[in-house]
Amino acid sequence: MLVQVPDVLTREQVKRFREALDATEWIDGKVTAGYQSARVKDNAQLNENNPVAADLGRQIVEALNSSPVFVAAALPKKIFPPLFNRYQGGQSFGNHVDNSVRRISSTGEYVRTDLSVTLFLSDPDEYDGGELVIEDTYGTKSVKLPAGDAVLYPSTSLHHVRPVTAGARVCSFFWLQSMVRSDEQRSLLLTLDMAIQRLAQDVPDHPSGVDLTGVYHNLLRQWVEL
Quick one: average pLDDT of 122-151? 94
The contacts of residue 19 (CB under 8 Å, 6+ apart) are none
Residue 205 has pLDDT above 90, yes or no: no
35 and 139 inside one domain:
yes
**Residue 157 — very low, low, confident or very high, per pLDDT cuts 50/70/90?**
very high
Strand partners, 127: 167
Examine the domain organization and report whether 76 and 169 are in the same domain: yes
Arithmetic mean of pLDDT, 208-224: 96
CATH number of the domain where residue 21 is located: 2.60.120.620
Same domain, 10 and 33: yes
Do 218 and 173 have their domain in common? no
Cβ(91)–Cβ(164) below 8 Å: yes
Report the predicted TM-score, pTM, of the whole model to 2 decimal places. Answer: 0.93
Q: Are residues 70 and 130 in the same domain?
A: yes
pLDDT digits (tens, 9 = 90+) for 3-59: 999 999 999 999 999 999 999 999 987 776 666 666 788 899 999 889 999 999 999
Least confident of 22-36, 142-156, 192-206: 22-36
Per-residue confidence (pLDDT) for residue 36, from 0 to 100:
64
- CATH code assigned at 201: 4.10.860
Segment 170-186 shows an average pLDDT of: 97
List beta partners, residue 41. 93
Q: What is the pLDDT of residue 74?
A: 98
> In terms of residue numbers, what domain contains 216?
183-223
Cα dist. 88→5, 32, 37, 60, 122 in Å?
25, 18, 18, 23, 12
Residues 104, 201 within the same domain: no
> Quick one: what percent of the chain has pLDDT higher than 90?
87
What is residue 33's predicted lDDT score, i.e. its pLDDT? 64
Evaluate whether 117 touches 174 at the Cβ level (below 8 Å). Answer: yes
Residue where a domain terminates, one of 141, 161, 178: 178
Are 52 and 148 in a shared domain?
yes
Both 152 and 83 in a single domain? yes
Question: Which pLDDT does position 190 carry in this prediction?
Answer: 96
Domain boundary among 162, 178, 194: 178
What total of structural domains would you count in the chain?
2
Note the pLDDT of residue 167.
97
Q: What mean pLDDT do residues 181-198 have?
A: 95
Does one domain contain both 188 and 171? no
- Same domain? For 153 and 194 the reply is no
Summarised one tens digit per residue, pLDDT across range 75-93 is: 999 999 999 999 999 999 9
Starting at the edge strand found earlier in the chain, the sheet holding 92-96 runs 41-42, 92-96, 158-161, 132-136, 139-143
Res 104 pLDDT > 90? yes
Alpha helix segments (H runs only) across the chain? 11-22, 35-38, 51-65, 68-74, 183-202, 207-223
Mean pLDDT over the full length of the chain: 94
| Residue 57 and residue 165 share a domain | yes
